[in-house]
Amino acid sequence: MKEFVRLHSQDEALTAFVNTALESAIESSLARLISDYLKACPNLSNRAVFRTLQQLNQGTLDDLSREGFVSYIISHTRLSLNDVASARRSLRTFFAYSNKHGIERMAARGATGTVAPPVSELEAVHSRRIS
């Protein structure tokens, strides 16, 4: 837990309470990313997984690759390792789109021609994902 304030040394419980309240009032980087993701992809069938992660209000996207943080999530929620891993991959994709990282290469199946799609178009396509 971060220490935002330090009260009188005899008021440790109150200090912890205030710090917890302040910490929960600040949205973590991961929670903010999830919030944006859920807005951008409104048709997701596994929203509950992301909501749970969001409510935890901890960490960053990179933290989802750290064993310790994943263990923390699993121990504090009902999410499975697969849930967390799947969420990490989805958020990684969204993060790349939302930061307008260019599409380098692509291969497609079942199309009728060759096109170089702009990132904005792919972002729009991605926003319709359902899982």
Partner 1 sequence: MQPYVNIDAVVDRVVRRHRPPRLQNGVAVDIERMLADYYDIDIARIPDLRIGNASLQGCCFPDRLLILVEAHDAPTRQRFTLAHELGHLEMHYRNTMIQPLFPVEDEAAYFRCVTHEATSEFESQSTSQRRRKERQADVFAAKFLMPLLLVRTAWRQADGNLERCAELLVVSKQAMEYRLAELELATTAL
Q: Looking at 93, 99, 100, 123, which residue binds partner 1 (CB under 8 A)? A: 93
Taking alpha carbons only, the member of 104, 100, 54 closest to residue 64 is 54
125 lies in the binding site for partner 1 (CB under 8 A):
yes
Q: How many residues does the chain have?
A: 131
Cβ of residue 3: shortest distance to partner 1, in angstroms? 36
**Nearest to partner 1 of 9, 45 (CB atom):** 45
Tokens of 97: 């789109």
- Site for partner 1 contains 90 (CB under 8 A): yes
Are the C-beta atoms of residues 7 and 37 closer than 8 Å to each other? no
Q: Which structure tokens are listed for 21? A: 């309240």
Work out which of 58, 77, 96, 123 binds partner 1, going by CB under 8 A. 96
Other CB atoms within a 10 A radius of the CB of residue 115 amount to 10
Which residues are at the interface with partner 1 (CB under 8 A)? 82, 85-86, 89-90, 92-93, 96, 101, 103-117, 121-122, 125-126, 128-131
